[in-house]
Amino acid sequence: MKFFHSIGQISLQSLAKLGRSTLFLSAIINSLGYPLLRPKLLIRQIYSVGVLSFWLVAISGLFVGMVLGLQGVYTLSTFGAESSLGIMVAASLVRELGPVVSALLFAGRAGSALTAEIGLMKTTEQLSGMEMMAIDPLKYIIAPRFLAGFISLPLLAALFSAIGIWGGYIAGVELLNVDVGAYWSQMQSAIDFYDDIVNGIIKSIIFAWIITWIALFEGYDATPTSAGISRATTKTVVNSAFAILLFDFLLTALMFGTS
């Protein structure tokens, strides 16, 4: 009996949280006009969540691309197809690894920082203080951060893919002597702008939406104690990672499943 009671309680709590987070998201969407009218607020947040994630994403992209280059040459050489390395590296990066890995890195770096910041603002009554000054924290604090994540992640994913392709070039062409012309020309002929690049951008836009929503909501909904903020930050990273991988599967099935 106790078991069923616990199941029921957890289900009700989860549904209530889903309801709160959906209301929170709709309130953010209603407030999105505000940061567009106050570009300074938006630019500061783009710097905080986007520019400060630059080196993490760039260096990770380089190494992921180099690993792809090395593994690609070893595998493709079995079939005498080293010249297809460019296609393999570019397709892997723009379709999958660029959006997914940059989103996972973004959740760890910027998402956790957003949750901790909002949670701490709640704990130190800064959000209540703004409410009492008749300034809506959803407009002034939350909406600019949401929009900044939305703008930053697709750009970071594009950067990840571009640097990864360059990393693949270093490993495959410079270190393992794959033909430079084959690397670039095969990539150019096989990668389709709409099917590969646009679909990759759509993925990273959806991931940006999911991560910033989870991060901001967990911070806003956190229990205002140090343990509460710690729990909320962990939830942001874990839930974002699960959501990214789940949506990646669904989006991949939708975009590439029939081709």
Q: Which residues bind another protein (CB under 8 A)?
A: 124-126, 128-136
Nearer to another protein, 26 or 77 (CB): 26
Q: Of 31 and 92, which CB lies nearer to another protein in the complex structure?
A: 31
Query: Whole-number minimum distance, CB 29 to another protein, in Å?
Result: 16
Measure Cα distances from 62 to 69, 123, 137 in Å.
11, 39, 38
Q: What is the 3-state secondary structure (H, E, C) of the chain?
A: CHHHHHHHHHHHHHHHHHHHHHHHHHHHHHHCHHHHHCHHHHHHHHHHHCHHHHHHHHHHHHHHHHHHHHHHHHHHHHCCCHHHHHHHHHHHHHHHHHHHHHHHHHHHHHHHHHHHHHHHHHHCCHHHHHHHCCCCHHHHHHHHHHHHHHHHHHHHHHHHHHHHHHHHHHHHHHHCCCCHHHHHHHHHHHCCHHHHHHHHHHHHHHHHHHHHHHHHHHHHCCCCCHHHHHHHHHHHHHHHHHHHHHHHHHHHHHHHCCC
Nearer to another protein, 33 or 129 (CB): 129
Q: 52-67: buried (b, 16+ CB within 10 Å) or exposed (e) per residue?
A: ebeebbeebbbebbbe
Q: Which is nearer to another protein, 51 or 175 (CB)?
A: 51
In angstroms, give the least distance from the CB of 135 to another protein: 5
**Shortest distance, position 63 Cβ to another protein, whole Å:** 34
Which residue number, 131 or 174, has a Cβ lying nearer to another protein? 131
Q: Shortest gap between Cβ of 132 and another protein (angstroms)?
A: 4
Least Cβ distance, residue 155 to another protein (angstroms): 24
Q: Which is nearer to another protein, 134 or 227 (CB)?
A: 134
Q: How far is the CB of 131 from another protein (least distance, A)?
A: 6
Which residue number, 124 or 234, has a Cβ lying nearer to another protein?
Answer: 124
What is the nearest approach in angstroms of another protein to the Cβ of residue 236?
21
